[in-house]
Amino acid sequence: MPDTQDLLATLRVVALPMVTRFRGIEVREAALLEGPEGWTEFAPFPEYGDEEAARWLAAAIEFGWEAVPEPVRASVPVNATVPALAADRVPEVLARFPGCRTAKVKVAEPGSSLADDVARVRAVRDALGPEGRVRIDANAVWNVDEAEHALRALAPADLEYVEQPCGTVDELVRLQQRIRDLRIPVAADESIRRSADPLAAAAAVDVVVLKAAPIGGIRKALAFARLAGRAAVVSSALDTSVGLAMGAHLAGALPRLPHDCGLGTGALLRADVTEDRLLPESGAIPVRRVVPSPALLDRFAADAERTAWWADRVRRCAALLP
């Protein structure tokens, strides 16, 4: 493991504008580090505490300082991601994801009604056609009653699955009992990676969502997927192309990949740290590393105050690692 001085020696902090507001974010900040294996990314959201963010740093260190597992596929099929925006904007969003046959639609966002969600999901279904796959993500906003009501309204869109409709494992179990007649699979993200017993959380759902950085690295994610014994889908956290490369290597190393992955989110960024971006082409992204452009690192560099904030965060999180 590198010491803190090694980590900070190559630290570059960027602030990248988003195409549209997503997850309440209009500018995505990320800290980039260069290790002996290549560039890596540390970008937990600002509101995350140090204990949770330390797992993101462990993942960044693994990707930059250790060789990646051997991939079993050269490219990864990805889904389009549709923010919580007006239904009439769906076509312009999907156009940024050429060839994608699957779309993940954000629902239950603050300021967005169930009627808005239904209209947005219907617009996605109409755009993809009957052969397309539509999944939704509620980010644990609903309680059980709200989730059942919403899913009955959204079920006509023929959902592939619903991701994190409720916050707790108990709520997810009770919800599944109520919606058995709908036959909508349930996926878990937050209730797995933030759980004291993630395997128990995985056992309660049909699909597990794996994110390399929040889980603590590619190897931990692969080990968890093996133990969980559930269908897995790899997703991102609004990463730059450097962070997406970490997710692509995780997806590339999974023995089974039954679902398209949420690794096309580079299309939600108006700018990136490389000219050779990891963007969807023919519905997929390649499994490869990314080298940032010095000019783009300079152009989108965060100001001195934010850079110092991220450097201090690296120090604090590094102190929590074994």
DSSP states of 264-321: -GGGGBS--S-SS----BTTEEE-------HHHHHHTBPPHHHHHHHHHHHHHHHHH-
**pTM of the entire structure?**
0.96
Q: How far apart are CA 185 and CA 162, in angstroms?
A: 6
Q: Are 137 and 104 in contact (CB under 8 A)?
A: yes
Q: What's the pLDDT at 119?
A: 98
H or E element at residue 12: strand 12-22
Question: Which class is 4-68+294-320 in CATH?
Answer: alpha beta
106 an active-site residue?
yes
Q: How far apart are CA 141 and CA 75, in angstroms?
A: 33
Q: What is the DSSP letter of 32?
A: E
Q: What's the pLDDT at 319?
A: 97
Q: How far apart are CA 123 and CA 39, in angstroms?
A: 38
104 an active-site residue?
no
Segments making up each domain of the chain, as ranges: 4-68+294-320, 75-286
| 303 annotated ligand-binding residue | no
* pLDDT of the chain, 322 residues: tens digit per residue: 899 999 999 999 999 999 988 878 999 999 999 999 999 999 999 999 999 999 999 999 999 999 999 999 999 999 999 999 999 999 999 999 999 999 999 999 998 999 999 999 999 999 999 999 999 999 999 999 999 999 999 999 999 999 999 999 999 999 999 999 999 999 999 988 888 899 999 999 999 999 999 999 999 999 999 999 999 999 998 999 999 999 999 999 999 999 999 999 999 999 999 999 999 999 999 999 999 999 999 999 999 999 999 999 999 999 999 8
Q: What's the pLDDT at 95?
A: 97
As its CATH architecture, domain 75-286 has Alpha-Beta Barrel (3.20)
H or E element at residue 79: none
| 29 annotated ligand-binding residue | no
Q: Give me the catalytic one of 28, 106, 120, 230.
A: 106
Q: What's the pLDDT at 21?
A: 87
* Residue 204: strand, helix, or coil: coil
| 271 CB neighbour count, 10 Å cutoff | 16
Q: Give me the catalytic one of 12, 125, 211, 259.
A: 211
| 170 annotated ligand-binding residue | no
Structure tokens at 185: 């699979």
Structure tokens at 246: 């970490």
